[in-house]
Amino acid sequence: MASKMTIDHKEKAGALLKADAHKILRLIKVQMDNLTMPQCPLYEDVLDTQMFGLSREIDFAVRLGLIDENDGKNLLDELEKELILLHESSIKK
């Protein structure tokens, strides 16, 4: 029973972190589409703050043993790649 509960917690932690990463991507997309340009300090502040917050969440989940450290790094790397693509597409507009 305890191992099933541990697996459930690990799956939930992974899903929550992925959802938070997706929220950051949506937030930045909305900001780029409607509010500011990527060169704007506000854009950079929001992005830095959100990425820092997610990295702290991942660190916490790793320390609790809910996710593997490499999985956390991969999640951040994937989000960064998506944000770069979003940034590049906004510049081409």
Average confidence score pLDDT of the chain: 87
pLDDT tens digit string along 1-27?
667 767 789 999 999 999 999 999 998
Give the count of domains, the chain: 1
CATH number for the domain harbouring residue 23: 1.10.287.750
Q: Specify the pLDDT at position 56.
A: 97
Q: How many CA atoms lie within 13 A of 22 on its CB side?
A: 6
Tell me the whole-structure pTM to 2 decimals. Answer: 0.83
> Tokens 């990527």 label which residue?
38
Structure token digits, residue 82 = 């998506």
25 contacts: CB under 8 Å, gap ≥ 6: 79, 82, 83, 86
pLDDT tens digit string along 51-65?
999 999 999 999 999
Reply yes or no on whether the pLDDT at 42 is more than 80.
no
Range of the domain at 75: 2-92
